Structure 1
Amino acid sequence: MKSKQIVAAKGEDAAIIRCGDRLLAFAADGIRHELIKIDPRWAGYCSILVNVNDILSMNARPIAAVNVMSVNDDNILRALTKGMLDACEKFNVPMVGGHLHPDAEIESISVAMVGEVCGNRPLLSSSAEPGDQVIVICDCHGHFTPGIPYSWDCTSMKSRKKIDNDMTALLDALPFLTAGKDISNSGMLGTLAMLLEASGVGAAVDIDKIPVPEDINLIQWLTAYQGFGFVGAVKKENVNRVFEALERSDLSVSVIGKITAEKRFKIALGKAQRLLFDLSKEKITGLF
């Protein structure tokens, strides 16, 4: 269904919707049942975290959230709720409503979130151009969640003040990017591949230039869901402005490659070079 109020939606981390003279970002995400079984409090926390990152990646600040839970175990319900409320407090996002299915056979949790686009300038994933620099922004101060080896936690131990500082610095940096996405379950390179597919371009990336936390396995890091991580494209003349905006934060930032007109995603590690995806033939999301 088409609507003149919808500015962007397909392939984006959040839909951009026109509301009067403002632009809103609208996101929704669900948490896998397996994560709820392993650590329901962390699952509740992540239900907020993933939506916050989706909203931020669009150059928007979160405003409010709602939830839908299916839980028939009171202990799991309490843990899920505590995780959600802990994250709402951490990221300063009020939970304004929701719905509970108390007799469900399988536990699940989903959250929808709305945010306001900063300066009415949304950052899309479909606007990278050949010649842009590939940039990664991530938080190397954290640890992998016990029992969940691909879930990087870099926020739960931080104060609300520190989190707000990092969010504000990120939102100061994002307007200088030409395209961006938050690093999702597909990992750093998989998320970049989705951005390239949406933009109809390719990239050459040097793995050695990616910030990696000390004593963390490279493959585990590249394939992890990062608690506060983003990939994007930026004009060469704007790179320093991005670095300057992030100086006051705990975030690491690095230029790791270049956007190419050829729809091939190539990676290099040391002297080794490989073709990761041929985007002229292969589909990542299948949306383009």
Structure 2
Amino acid sequence: MDGAALEALAASLRESRGIAAKADIGAVAARLGLAGAMVAVGDDCAAIPDGENHLLFAIEGFMNEFVAADPWFAGWCGIMVNLSDIAAMGGRPLAVVDAIWADGDAKATPVLEGMRAAAAAYGVPIVGGHTNIRTPQVQLAVAVLGRAGKNLLTSFDARPGDVLIAAVDHRGAYREPFNNWQAAIQAPPQRLVGDLDLMALIADRGLARAAKDISQGGIPGTAIMLAECSGVGIDIDLDQLPVPEGVTLERWLSTFPSFGFLLASAPENAEAIVGLFTGRGVSAAIVGSITKGSEVAIVSEGLRAPIRDHAASALMGLAPLSTATGPTSREQAA
């Protein structure tokens, strides 16, 4: 990729709707007065100390146009993405609850059926929630409770000198017209559960300190959030990034995969982490490096194009103050 093409790609990523939407998180957190809260804000879940272990608590809300266009899949995603948030922090899920609004039972049914199918596939119970089927619009939110051990994977513990690993299940296809890469619906339940459990194994074995679920911002947007929370820079090496056959690099960088994680680890642990994923058929590779500074950039063939400098222009504005002088541990950030 030449310099002009690399800069054009970086420019399109800077303007990404998925990345821009992440700025709303910081604004809402500020309105709620969450600075200095009992747990660090900016992770995939709230990690609540529970003795030597942790309870994990998270929620996902879904775009109205997405729920309206593909209600069954939206219900499935209500379970799936919450479980990915638990896994991203090295945890295992306990249960989920939902809140659904719809104009009558017929409009609610496909959403509920999608949730029920996913809960059965992943082996996680739906234990309650909130229902209102006398409203003019279908809307969905789902929350999850999980548990993790002493070792958490966090957004606050990437360190300069770490390598960046991307683990994404390529065994799927896009669920058009959205940029959702779906590799779960047709997968055997045993595979779904075993693949998600890899993140807990990585945490339990102390192979990595930092990780994030790849979300609507795609790989670059997720990397920006990780870099900001950890007070580091990240270079994403496009030449090392695996891309599914038939998919353009630009679209893949903006994709929300059904199973996708970024991990930061010490170089000596990278081979073991990659091997755990590839041993189960999940694509995984070292795709970049954690650096000093605050720039997140894409690199290719010796060229480099910054996407965002989070010190100059914060995305979420949720980094602990101590990251101004370097990365912080989870305990310091809490």
What band does the TM-score fall into relative to the shorter chain?
over 0.9
What's the TM-score once normalised by structure 1's chain length?
Answer: 0.93
Q: Report whether the alignment pairs 1:154 with 2:192.
A: no
Match of 2:29 in 1: none
For structure 1, the 5+ residue unaligned runs are none
Rounded Cα–Cα distance in structure 1 between residues aligned with 2:52 and 2:234: 36
State the alpha-carbon separation in 2 of the partners of residues 265 and 206 from structure 1: 11
Check 1:244–1:129 CA distance in 2 against 1; reply closer, same or farther (3 A cut).
same
1:173 touches 1:246 (CA, 8 Å); kept in 2? no
Structure 2 unmatched ranges of 5 or more: 1-32, 320-334
User: Contact 1:5/1:18 (CA < 8 Å) preserved in 2?
Assistant: no
1:265 to 278, 286, 296: 296
Q: Give the helix-richer structure, 1 or 2.
A: 2
Aligned to 1:207: 238
1:192/1:232 contact within 8 Å kept:
no
Deviation at 1:21, TM superposition (A): 4.8
Where does residue 134 of structure 1 map in the other structure? 164
Secondary structure at 1:12 match in 2: coil
Decide which of 193, 200, 221 is 1:164's aligned counterpart. 193
Corresponding residue to 1:123 among 150, 153, 158: 153
Q: CA deviation at 1:186?
A: 0.7
- Alpha-carbon separation, structure 1, partners of 2:247 and 2:104: 36
- The answer for the alignment partner of 2:104 in structure 1 is 73
Higher strand share: 1
Q: What TM-score do the two structures reach when normalised by structure 2?
A: 0.81
Distance apart, 1:243 and its partner CA: 2.2
Give 1:246 deviation, angstroms: 2.3
Deviation at 1:171, TM superposition (A): 2.5
Higher RCO (CA 8 Å, separation ≥ 6 residues): 2
Q: Distance in 2 between matches of 1:70 and 1:286?
A: 32
CA offsets per residue over residues 207-253 of structure 1, 9 Å max, x none?
A: 11111111111111110111100012100111122123224312111
Whether contact under 8 Å (2:152, 2:209) holds in the other structure is no
Report if aligned partners of 2:84, 2:196 keep a CA contact under 8 Å in 1: no
Q: Which residue identity is paired with 2:186?
A: M
State how many pairs are aligned: 284
1:84–1:127 Cα change, 3 Å: same
**1:121-178 deviation digits (Å, cap 9, x = unpaired):** 1111111111111111111110000332x01101011010111221233332344112
Counterpart check, 1:189 vs 2:246: no
1:88-144 deviation digits (Å, cap 9, x = unpaired): 111111000011012222211111101110x32111111111111111111111000
**8 Å Cα contact 1:170-1:245 kept in structure 2:** no
For the residues of structure 2 that align with 1:56 and 1:31, how far apart are their CA atoms? Answer: 20
Superposed CA RMSD: 1.8
Measure, in 1, the Cα distance between the counterparts of 2:239 and 2:50.
43
